[in-house]
Structure 1
Amino acid sequence: MTSQLVSTNRRLRINQYQRGQRVGKGKHGEVYLCHDDNIRQEVAVKVVRRSNPRDKIKLLRKSHQQQAWPPPLSSTEQSIRKEIAIMKRCRHPHHVRLLEVIDDPHQEKIYLAMEYLSGGPVQWTNKEQQPILTVFQTRRIIRDVISGLEYLHHQGIIHRDIKPANLLWTEDRSVIKIIDFGVSHLDPKLDRRKRQEKDLPEVLALFPESDLLKRTGTPSFLAPEVVWVPDYATDFTPTTSSDTLTPGALPHNVPTTDKSRIPTTRPPITPAIDLWSLGVTFYCLLFGRTPFNVPESAHDNIHHSEYMLYHQICIQDWEADETMGADKLTTGGRHPPDRNSEGYVIISLLNGLLHKDPRDRMKLAEFKCHPWTLQDIADPDKWLRNTAFEPPETQRSRWTRTVKQVFRGLIPCSK
């Protein structure tokens, strides 16, 4: 659709959208709260430029591209096209909905009109890094995210940036929706719908398989296979100095995870990276902090800080407080002794999600069908049927297999 930029009382109008205050800012653009005169509702409009100074520098360096026609997309515009392609496929109660794309080739900007989620992002910690959500509230949030992720994976889409900041509430704070598909990846081999689309070849050209090897996303939420380093599975000797880090050394005296859980070669990048990020998010909501953190003294050097963080993600075990949630339910620590306690169940779920090897990581259907996840639902079987992309019987069998693995020690709670 052609955009018509009109100045009215020092405020901007884009077609039927009357622009208001800025409500967000991302890597490629800004998000404004706008009023849609057609439907008389507030919407969020993301304004993005087709290119940035870095794109122009790259184009100048590649002189052979000056003769190409049509001219290649800038990296910024390609990212925008990818985000639009993903959002057009997302029609689910737990995804932010794309309403319209205003794209005039003669304009420098592209406008994405989306539903406005006035409930804001999930708030999960205070200044003292203590959790502010109860375990009950955490379960509600995680359940919505599971449902939204299942829909994405069913269509062959990997989100790649699941974190609390990308989970927004609706106005009545009854539903969580996943936002920000700027780094998401579409893989036709993972699409279970098996449907052919006319523009599929053009869309897939935006998603080369090599993109999955890039360390894209939020560092603290990246999976081990994404931040893989050559000495990933070698012996690591803890160091007492937080100011230095050499290859083969941990940033501080912390226990390494069971070496049997660490793959010896780099595993492939699959939708399992979203399960890791979901596990980190789950941990954040329960304990008010991320499971892997570098000392403050390392923050002066961003490259050094990331190097330390990635090593922790790859080989370090995580710790658990004696209590979880704002209601301070007992966990039993990292190794809960009472197998009948809720703390044991939750630590077991975290173990499954934060497994270093994605091939042994808990599957999304298994997490969805777990009794802890289904708790507080009046009719779990009906909910499974209404939200399933595979028969509920299959989902149930997945969960049964997972429970047997936990109690047989294949997915250990205390290792």
Structure 2
Amino acid sequence: MEADAHAEMRMLNDDNVSNTEFPPKYSDGDFSKNGMIQQGRDDQPSVTWLDDEEIDKLDLSLTNDPGNLFFNRVDSAEIIYQAKKKACKMVGKYVMGELLGEGSYGKVKEVLDSEDLSRRAVKILTKRKLRRIPNGEQNVRREIQLLRKLKHRNVIELLDVLYNEEKQKMYLIMEYCVGGLQEMIDSAPEKKLPLFQAHNYFVQLLDGLEYLHGQGVVHKDIKPDFQKKLAKTSSPPRPTEIIVPKDSFGGEIALPLPECSFITRLVGNLLLTLDHTLKISDFGVAEALELFALDDTCTTGQGSPAFQPPEIANGQETFLGFKVDIWSSGVTLYNITTGQYPFDGDNIYRLLENIGKSQWEAPDWLYKLDANLANLVLGMLQAEPDNRFTLQQIRHHAWFCCAPEVLGEVIPVPPMKGDPFRCSTVLPCLEAYHYQIENGDDDVYFTEHDLNQKLAKQAAELAAHIKSSNTKKDPSNRKRSRKSLSCISVKQLTTCRPS
């Protein structure tokens, strides 16, 4: 067998087959039952197939002669990658930018209106993905119908809807927001907001909620972030560290990875604009009450478990919709001011059990932090809906009427991909489209060694940034912007050629 294998390998370098052309395509009739090409035909060359077992038996001494091998080893430093150029893509009159976030229903990208140069965001939905989500298409249609009639400063505005029947895609053009409320909380050293800043956002949340209820709309899913951060729940945990190359020799280091440094962030339900205006978004599970309905009774609850009231956690068939939004707003207020949740559990069932079995009591340390805040949260988290605060009671509460004293610094919107100003991602695409050099002089090439060096540098900068944030050094150091570590996309390595 070894001799036959040697003979087969040597045939590849034989002078008699140096000019051999590729054989023609075979039809189904050219194959025997075992899948082998039938031998002995005059118009077809004789072919011998080697299976994996036979290949494994080949003499490894052939590696001493590179000419007898199909593949040669190439050092990584000799491979040159070409950076992918930014393509200018348009959907209707909108120029597409980069990815802003991603939710269960689809991706969100930045776009630019080519007519008035307005900065917008587009939610891209595919029918294939919606069909895999229970009531996915129904929820999207409901969201579009609701957003078309809602116009308020603290409610996200739907500007346009585009359809692409060929690609089975739907594009929802919306107001542009720089980030989410939870994203800002995650970037804070103590994972919470100062009381004065939380008060500002809560007042805006209540303004938007009052408008929705006045329009007969129950949101049902008020919360800071798309994904709840409680450990051991139904939501999959995010990675806490990333392994990056330390040098070009294969060494590795593990670095903690803050959630706000993800390129693809999950889209939250409470978003922020450049001027820190809060926007209520994601009306996929919202419900519009009948015009002549006697009350706000609802029958379906599809919100996040950690923000659901006891009546839904206990499985009641009907409940008051407005009181559901009051409860979830109370959980949100408690979360952004303390960095914690009023209820937790080892899994989703324990979580719902803890929510539904007892009345929540404000801890003593919350009264020490702010007694009025503790009293307000307690009133909003009453287990009995009839005892729960109404919007009017919240508006007349002492903590709502009197803003806390401004102490410390405002938590800023965290940088996106190392950019503290969150500049438009559409402009690089336009520059590449209008000013690209056709002769290729502007092509960027780099080796794997360059990639490793760049990763190591970014990792060191990220580690220094995290260390400075945790140790709370001089405020001037915390203001210093550092480019966060970003994951290298395989799609960026479009071409590969030897040097």
Return the TM-score normalized by structure 2: 0.51
C-alpha distance after superposition, 1:126-156 (max 9, x if no partner): 5999443111111111100000000000011
Answer yes or no: is 1:349 the counterpart of 2:426: no
Which residue matches 1:271? 322
Which of residues 156, 167, 171 in structure 1 aligns to 2:270?
Answer: 167
Residue 288 of structure 1 aligns with an amino acid whose one-letter code is: G
Q: Which residue of 2 aligns with 1:293?
A: 344
Identity of aligned residues (%): 31
Deviation string 1:77-129 (CA, Å, 9 cap, x unpaired) is: 22211110111121000011111011355551111000101144344645999
Q: Distance in 2 between matches of 1:149 and 1:190?
A: 20
2:434 equivalent in structure 1: none
The Cα of 1:19 is off from its aligned counterpart by 1.0
**1:171-202 Cα distance to aligned partner (Å, 9 max, x none):** 022x211111111111125789xxxxxxxxxx
Q: Distance in 2 between matches of 1:128 and 1:44?
A: 25
Aligned-partner SS, 1:152: helix
Deviations 1:322-373 (A, max 9, x none): 555xxxxxx23xxxxxxxxx83322221121001111221001211232321
The 1:318–1:16 alpha-carbon spacing in structure 2 relative to 1, beyond 3 Å, is same
Pairing of 1:87-98 with structure 2 (within 5 A): 87-98=147-158
Contact 1:126 1:288 survives alignment (8 Å)? no
Instruction: Work out whether residues 225 and 269 of structure 1, in 8 Å CA contact, stay in contact via their aligned partners in 2.
Output: no
Which residue pairs with 1:14 in the alignment? 91
Q: Counterpart amino acid of 1:187?
A: L
Q: 1:9: how far off?
A: 6.5
Report the equivalent of 1:84. Answer: 144
1:50 lines up with 2:127 in the alignment:
yes
Corresponding residue for 1:252? none
Do the aligned partners of residues 53 and 163 (structure 1) sit closer, same or farther apart at CA in structure 2, a change above 3 Å counting? closer
Q: Could you say which residue in structure 1 is the equivalent of 2:348? A: 306
Which string of whole-angstrom CA distances, capped at 9 and with x for unpartnered residues, describes residues 275-297 of structure 1? 00000001101210111111xxx
The 1-side partners of 2:135 and 2:318 are apart by 27
CA distance in 2, matches of 1:190, 1:218: 29
Question: 2:191 & 2:287 partners in 1: Cα distance?
Answer: 31
Within the alignment, does 1:153 sit opposite 2:198 as a pair?
A: no
Contact 2:394–2:400 (CA<8 Å) still a contact in 1? Answer: yes
Task: Give the secondary structure class of the aligned counterpart of 1:52.
Answer: helix
SS in 2 for 1:114: strand
| Cα gap change, 1:281 to 1:129, in 2 (>3 Å) | farther
User: What's 2:333 paired with?
Assistant: 282
Residue 129 to residue 172, structure 1, CA distance change in 2 (3 Å): closer
The amino acid of 2:98's aligned partner reads: Q
Offset at residue 321 of structure 1 (A): 5.2
- Deviation readout 1:41-92 (Å, 9 max, x if unpaired): 221001101243855xx9xxxxxxxxxxxxxxx9322221111011112100
Tell me the CA shift for residue 317 of structure 1: 4.2
Instruction: Report the CA distance shift for 1:190/1:228 in structure 2 as closer, same or farther (over 3 A).
Output: farther
Aligned length: 275
Partner residue in 2 for 1:360: 387
1:38 alignment partner, one of 115, 120, 130: 115
Letter in 2 for 1:90: L
- For residues 169 and 126 of structure 1, do their structure 2 counterparts lie closer, same or farther at Cα, with a shift above 3 Å needed? closer
Counterpart CA distance in 1 for 2:126 and 2:194 is 41
Aligned to 2:279: 177
C-alpha spacing 1:376/1:351, structure 2 compared with 1 (3 Å): closer
Contact 1:119 1:170 in 2 (8 A): yes
Find 1:373's aligned residue among 400, 403, 406.
Answer: 400
- For 2:96 and 2:332, the matched residues in 1 are separated by 33
Secondary structure, aligned partner of 2:289? strand
- Rounded to whole Å, the distance in 1 between the matches of 2:188 and 2:172 is 37
Pairs within 5 Å for 1:237-276: 268-276=319-327
Cα 1:25–1:131 shift into 2, 3 Å: closer
- Residue 271 of structure 1 aligns to a residue whose secondary structure is helix
Contact in 2 for aligned 1:227/1:310 (Cα 8 Å): yes
Look up the match of 1:413. Answer: none
Distance 1:322 1:124, change over 3 A: farther
Higher RCO (C-alpha under 8 Å, 6+ residues apart) = 2
SS in 2 for 1:48: strand
Aligned equivalents of 1:190, 1:284: Cα separation in 2? 36
Match of 1:186 in 2: 288
Match of 1:399 in 2: none
How much does 1:163 deviate? 0.8
User: How far, CA to CA, are the matches of 2:312 and 2:127 in structure 1?
Assistant: 28
Distance change >3 Å, CA 360–CA 185, structure 1 → 2: same
* Pair 128,28 (structure 1): closer, same or farther in 2 beyond 3 Å: closer
Could you tell me which amino acid in structure 2 is paired with residue 355 of structure 1?
Q
State which structure, 1 or 2, has the greater radius of gyration over its C-alpha atoms. 2
Determine if contact 2:131/2:137 at 8 Å carries over to the other structure.
no
Contact 2:97 2:111 survives alignment (8 Å) = yes
Give the residue type in structure 2 aligned to 1:223.
P
RMSD across aligned C-alpha pairs, in angstroms?
Answer: 2.9
What does residue 26 of structure 1 align with? 103
TM superposition shift of 1:159: 0.6
CA contact (8 A) 1:104 1:110 kept: yes
What are the ranges of 5 or more consecutive residues in structure 1 without an aligned counterpart?
1-7, 59-73, 193-208, 230-264, 299-304, 325-330, 333-341, 378-415
Residue number in structure 2 paired with 1:217: 303
Q: Does 1:132 align with 2:195?
A: no
- Give distance in 1, aligned partners of 2:130 and 2:278: 36
